């Protein structure tokens, strides 16, 4: 199986160190949600795991091999990344977009083998995009568009898929559409999914493992039922919240009702 870990990983943009010496393990075959307040480094961590950002120190490992030292094409056969809000070129159809996912499997002489075609069709079917396959991506709704991009990542046929805020800018039903798709992919195909999410309740409901980050460090990590507590919400998000069992599934549900009392600022109510 494919296990993602980091050891003493340090990530930085120019002068600003975002993540300093982080050790984290992503369980394979599960959905892991990276959560935390703005600027905590969750997207940066995802970029580091996907070799979009080179480590300043330490390393991220896939099955024990340092990700930054793997040939980029080889890595692309094992690990897919969907960045935040990607933009498709004007007029590009869904099928053309999804076909791009075959890039790491192709060569100059084999640009469209039978495997490529079947992988694209499978990805279109899995995401329910077959009927939209020949529509331009820019003519789709937000949820369909995100599904098209996820289909591209699926056509890459990687064991691990990383997604940076896959539900941002989508309305509620489209958020659920995307999250349920990810759950299906994880359950039916055993793919390891790592996603950055903003909504903590999305994390508890759809992920089986949560990594909560604060200020570039892991504040807690584990199954949502074990780690999502009022104390964690206070420490990580600086909010006072009730954590109650979800009436249908029993997973922890967070209801925030105010900012946590902090010694500095915020006098008013």
Among 24, 35, 45, 81, binds another protein (CB under 8 A): 81
Q: Do the beta carbons of residue 35 and residue 48 sit within 8 Å?
A: no
Q: How far is the CB of 154 from another protein (least distance, A)?
A: 13
What's the chain's length in residues? 269
3-state secondary structure of 235: helix
# chain residues binding another protein, by CB under 8 A:
43
Q: Determine the Cα angle at 100 with ends 160 and 35, to 5°.
A: 35
Within 21-40, the residues that bind another protein by CB under 8 A are none
Closer to another protein by Cβ: residue 93 or 204: 93
Of 65, 56, 50, whose CA–CA distance to 19 is shortest? 56
The pair of structure tokens assigned to 122 is 């499978």
Q: What are phi and psi of 104, to 5 degrees?
A: -65, -15
Q: What does the block give as tokens for 64?
A: 């024990």
Selected binder of another protein within 15, 64, 90, 265 (CB under 8 A): 90
* Cα angle 163-168-172, degrees, rounded to a multiple of 5: 120
What is the per-residue binding string for another protein in 138-177, x denoting contact by CB under 8 A?
---------------x--x---------------------
Taken in order 117, 119, 124, 130, is the CA torsion positive or negative? positive
Q: Which residue of 104, 128, 142, 223 would you call a contact of another protein, by CB under 8 A?
A: 104
Q: Build a one-symbol-per-residue string for 177-206: x at contacts with another protein by CB under 8 A, - elsewhere.
A: ------------------------------
| Half-sphere exposure in the Cβ direction for 143 (13 Å, CA) | 14
| Dihedrals phi, psi of 114, to nearest 5 degrees | -60, -35
Strand partners of residue 193: 31, 161
Q: Is 101 in the site for another protein (CB under 8 A)?
A: yes
* Interaction between residue 75 and another protein (CB under 8 A): yes
If one asks whether residue 74 binds another protein (CB under 8 A), the answer comes out as yes
Q: What is the DSSP letter of 42?
A: H
Of residues 112, 171, 245, 246, which one binds another protein by CB under 8 A?
Answer: 112
Query: What DSSP designation does 260 have?
Result: P
Contact flag: residue 100 with another protein (CB under 8 A): yes
Instruction: By CB under 8 A, tell whether 6 contacts another protein.
Output: no
Segment contacting another protein by CB under 8 A, of 77-85, 181-189, 212-220, 254-262: 77-85
Where does this chain bind another protein (CB under 8 A)?
Answer: 47, 50-52, 72-77, 80-83, 86-93, 95-97, 99-101, 103-104, 106, 108-114, 116-117, 134, 153, 156
């Amino acid at each position: 199986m494919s296990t993602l870990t980091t050891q003493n990983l340090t990530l930085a943009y120019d002068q600003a160190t975002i993540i300093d010496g982080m050790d984290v393990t992503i369980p394979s075959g599960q959905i892991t949600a990276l959560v935390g307040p703005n600027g905590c480094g969750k997207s940066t961590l995802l970029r580091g795991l996907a070799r979009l950002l080179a480590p300043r120190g330490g390393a991220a490992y896939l099955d024990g091999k340092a990700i930054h030292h793997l040939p980029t094409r080889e890595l692309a056969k094992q690990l897919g990344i969907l960045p935040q809000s990607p933009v498709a070129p004007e007029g590009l159809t869904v099928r053309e977009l999804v076909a791009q996912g075959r890039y790491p499997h192709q060569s100059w002489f084999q640009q469209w083998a039978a495997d490529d075609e079947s992988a694209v069709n499978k990805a279109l079917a899995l995401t329910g995009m077959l009927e939209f396959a020949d529509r331009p991506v820019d003519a789709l709704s937000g949820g369909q568009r995100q599904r098209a991009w996820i289909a591209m990542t699926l056509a890459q046929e990687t064991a691990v898929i990383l997604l940076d805020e896959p539900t941002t800018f989508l309305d509620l039903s489209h958020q659920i559409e995307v999250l349920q798709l990810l759950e299906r992919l994880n359950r039916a195909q055993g793919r390891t999914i790592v996603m950055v999410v903003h909504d903590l309740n999305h994390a508890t409901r759809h992920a089986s493992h949560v990594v909560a980050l604060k200020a570039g460090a892991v504040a807690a990590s584990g199954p949502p039922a074990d780690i999502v507590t009022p104390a964690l919400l206070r420490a990580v998000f600086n909010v006072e919240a009730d954590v109650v069992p979800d009436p249908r599934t029993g997973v922890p549900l967070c209801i925030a009702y105010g900012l946590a009392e902090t010694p500095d600022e915020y006098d008013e109510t």
